[in-house]
Structure 1
Amino acid sequence: MLFKPGIGYGQMTSSSLKSFKFKLQERFSPVNEKLLQDEISEIAVIQRQMEKENLWAIRYWNGAYPSYRWHQLLMQASQNHQGHKNGGRVVVMHLAIYDAMVEVWKHKKAHFQKAAYQYDSKVKRLGPKSDYSAFICEWSAVAGAAHRVIGHYFPAQKELLDSQLAAFKSARLASGLQFPSDIEKGLEIGQKIAKKYIEYAKDDRTDRRWKGRVPKLDSLWSGNPSPWDPMKRQWKPLTLDQPNQFRPKPPPTDWSVDMEELREFNAKHQSSEIAWKWKSEPVWDRLIERKILEYNLNPFEAAFANAIFHTARYDAIIAAWDGKYHYWGIRPFQYDLSFKPILIATPNFPGYPAGHTTVAGSIAKVLSFLFPRDKSFFDGLAKECSESRFEGGVHFRTDNEVGLEVGDKVGQWVIKAFTE
């Protein structure tokens, strides 16, 4: 079951996080019949004038679920950007999308309205039909929120984002699923919710630079971290009461047993398929997309799934990095200077607890909540992720196992924040 018993469309409040809860006080009413007829004529004219490539554009923008293309655009904008990328950009976008969806669903519950193609046979249905009110376009609310948030983080890419928003609006209108006025109302809601999240993000501490010093002890990690990495432990949590809420107990003072296990593995293996897989592939991101499509989640459910998924990752990073820079856990290649990790390049920050596995534990927990039939699969993936960091030689096994435990606790906490 996707939601807690008794929670359904429109009954879930805002993102339900301790840090904030953004709602609008907007009141929208459907337009009168005469205006609807004018809008129907507008859609009919657009459909008659369409070229063949327009059909592909309609499928492109109206397929999958509303945030699918906008998540891709965020990733594209991130790749296009040179230099530091703000750590809160993904979760802020998906939380804004979810809150915009909650706002839209309140209006849909209050006013049932048929889709444009259902009013007049002159309008063709060129997209997937739904069994809920067409009043206020939920796809447009997502577009308005995402366009505004991505633009905040990557202002230099305004031209690209504006062109994509225009393409979306054209494709949505030509689909015959929505009236022009409902598209505009959706955009307005999404943009206003995004504005509130952008104001929040300005003080979420995700862009602060570190000015501290690395401790000089042979038993601890040594290196020159990026100015942003140590600050992850100071990001403003979304659900956690404080960054050190699930800080693990201190790491071992004697790593000899862990080190010997790594030496034995390296003596028998020249490479590791799973080590390279988890280093180079966005495994979890692809998985959440796949599960949303496999289970055919509707727009509201998909927005909820992405919001809780990315919140779990974000707060897990804070929890892991709190431990890393509190304990400054040494890495295997520093403990034994003769040791050569299979992954060659060890990440340039402390090892305990492992970041990959803390995130894996948290995400596996929320995915099991969303898709409980697949729980054993998610648990297996989290364990594979943990094993991959050991086989790659960048972590001691203890780093990984403790990371999974911390991540599991974070995941449970995030679920509680979204459902109580």
Structure 2
Amino acid sequence: MCTKPNYIVSTGKWWLTTLLCCSVLLTLAQNSFVSEPGNKSPGGWKTFIVKDIKELRVPAPPDKDQSQKELKELKEKMSQGNNEKKQAILYWDAGSPAYRWNQLGYSLITFDNFDRFLRTPTAWMNMAIYDATIAAWNAKELYQRKRPTQLDPSLKAVIKAPSTSSYPCEHTVTAAAAAIVLAYFYPEKADSIMKLAKEASESRVYAGVQFPSDVAAGWKLGQDVADRVLAEAKNDGSDKKWTGNVKSDPKIWRGEYPVGIMTASWKPILLKAGDQFRPAAPPDFEKEMQDMKNFKHDLRSSNLAYYWAASSGFDIWTEMANQKIFEYHLDNHTPACARIYALLNVAMHDVSISIMDAKYAYWGTRPILYDTTFRPLVFTPPFPGYPSGHATASSTAATVLQYFFPGDAAQFKKLAQECADSRFYAGIHFKTDNEVGLVLGKKVGEYIVETWDKK
């Protein structure tokens, strides 16, 4: 019986091993790339609020002669640059245009106005940023205006000029859209917000990467989109007032005022209604109360309890999105980043409505109310416990981020589970609150993603 020579067998094994390794690496790569909406260029991507991008088309940019005059103006502005302006240039150039505005949006969150928090201002802000960005890209693709450094190669820009066309300015579109929306939700800080937007816009001219007319057109476009988004936000139903009474049943939640009780009646953005995935009624918590009282804390459980209690939860997931955007070098793909931030925050908006719907459908009690001798690690929120808001929202966020970064699904799932566990460790949620929350959040996240795909 003839057999292959040993060196041929070895070579065959080597090739087989190589092919298997390449197959595995290719699969990992395919599973790690961000999802993109088909083969369309960004200027043709679907939007959230704007019905037809063509309605927002900006006029043609200045001609060549006018651009030469603008170059002179731009050089004069650059000559006025100082260290403060350079710091502003570098600050606003970090990440995608939406990066700094998401940092700002979450820094504004306070819980003294919980209804405002539940309205999720960052959802409306990011929809405005995204729709304005797509409109800007539509114009960029149409006009193909060259950057200042392309018209005058001798011009020394402070930062590297983006490879995209210049008109309109993407940073200004983002700044105007974001600032106008945030100023509406935070009127007490409107002046400082608008000042930052102007700084962000002007930084692109002082950097030498955008013409003044790019900035002017970008501001007008961002403002137009923001106005449309705010028209929707003002009709979300959040102005309704509760006129009921808190029940006195000792087996359910009770308190002075049921914070967030009207949220369930608000209008979702992509969900059909707040009760679309309402879970079944909670069980009696007698056994779970005993489990909680018997739980022995260690350094890890205490750390997780305090870590998640010090956060809205939403901000941690946005930081995770930031991390993935940087890991996959997407920060130079402005429309893709805007899309990630928008869908994630829209999901946070809609899941908030689902959470409060379930809470006030059942008025699920809290450990500190079930057993008044029990003392939790952290402050107990002033509304029903079932299901856990942190667990539900984290599960939704994990599901949405998995849509964009499928290769990191296990990491997202682990983080959501840690968040859910932290609420038990903190002594403010029974295990059932968290388990049901994870299931509810996943359903909401899957629906958000599927609805967006079909939009």
Q: Find the partner of 1:229 among 244, 260, 285.
A: 260
Q: Find the partner of 2:306 among 276, 291, 295.
A: 276
- 8 Å CA contact 2:240, 2:262 repeated in 1: yes
Change (3 A) 1:242 1:21: farther
Asked if residue 73 in structure 1 is aligned to residue 104 in structure 2, the reply is yes
- 8 Å CA contact 2:180, 2:194 repeated in 1: no
2:81 maps to: 50
- 8 Å CA contact 1:43, 1:123 repeated in 2: no
Which amino acid in structure 2 is aligned with residue 245 of structure 1?
Q
Q: Find the partner of 2:319 among 286, 291, 303.
A: 286
Change (3 A) 1:370 1:47: same
Unaligned runs of 5+ in 2: 1-33
SS in 1 for 2:43: coil
Once residues 188 and 24 of structure 1 are traced to their aligned partners in structure 2, the CA distance between those partners, rounded to angstroms, is: 15
Q: Report the alpha carbon displacement of residue 119 of structure 1 after superposing the two structures with TM.
A: 0.8
User: Superposition RMSD on alpha carbons, in Å?
Assistant: 2.2
Q: Select between 120-129 and 349-358 the one with higher mean Cα deviation.
A: 120-129
SS in 2 for 1:368: helix
2:273 maps to: 242
Q: Select between 92-101 and 283-292 the one with higher mean Cα deviation.
A: 283-292
Q: Select between 262-271 and 65-74 the one with higher mean Cα deviation.
A: 262-271
Q: Report the alpha carbon displacement of residue 70 of structure 1 after superposing the two structures with TM.
A: 2.4
Runs of 4 or more off by more than 3 Å in structure 1?
Answer: 4-8, 20-24, 72-79, 81-85, 266-271
Asked if residue 136 in structure 1 is aligned to residue 168 in structure 2, the reply is yes
Asked if residue 314 in structure 1 is aligned to residue 349 in structure 2, the reply is yes
2:136 maps to: 104
> CA deviation digits over 1:236-280, x for unaligned, max 9?
10111111000001111x222222221221488996111111111
Counterparts of residues 54-65 of structure 1 (less than 5 Å) = 54-65=85-96
1:30 maps to: 61
- 8 Å CA contact 1:88, 1:201 repeated in 2: no
Change (3 A) 1:98 1:189: same
SS in 2 for 1:379: helix
If the length of structure 1 is used for normalisation, what is the TM-score?
A: 0.92
Q: Report the alpha carbon displacement of residue 76 of structure 1 after superposing the two structures with TM.
A: 4.7
Once residues 6 and 267 of structure 1 are traced to their aligned partners in structure 2, the CA distance between those partners, rounded to angstroms, is: 52
Unaligned runs of 5+ in 1: none
- 8 Å CA contact 1:40, 1:123 repeated in 2: no
Once residues 293 and 70 of structure 1 are traced to their aligned partners in structure 2, the CA distance between those partners, rounded to angstroms, is: 16
- State how many pairs are aligned: 413
Once residues 144 and 331 of structure 1 are traced to their aligned partners in structure 2, the CA distance between those partners, rounded to angstroms, is: 43
Q: Find the partner of 1:219 among 241, 251, 264.
A: 251
SS in 1 for 2:178: helix
If the length of structure 2 is used for normalisation, what is the TM-score?
A: 0.85
- 8 Å CA contact 1:101, 1:141 repeated in 2: yes
Counterparts of residues 154-193 of structure 1 (less than 5 Å) = 154-193=186-225
Q: Find the partner of 2:450 among 413, 416, 419.
A: 416
Q: Select between 29-38 and 255-264 the one with higher mean Cα deviation.
A: 255-264
SS in 2 for 1:272: helix
Q: Find the partner of 2:430 among 396, 399, 405.
A: 396
SS in 2 for 1:67: helix
Larger radius of gyration: 2
1:115 maps to: 147
- 8 Å CA contact 1:271, 1:342 repeated in 2: no
- 8 Å CA contact 2:171, 2:201 repeated in 1: no
- 8 Å CA contact 2:171, 2:200 repeated in 1: no
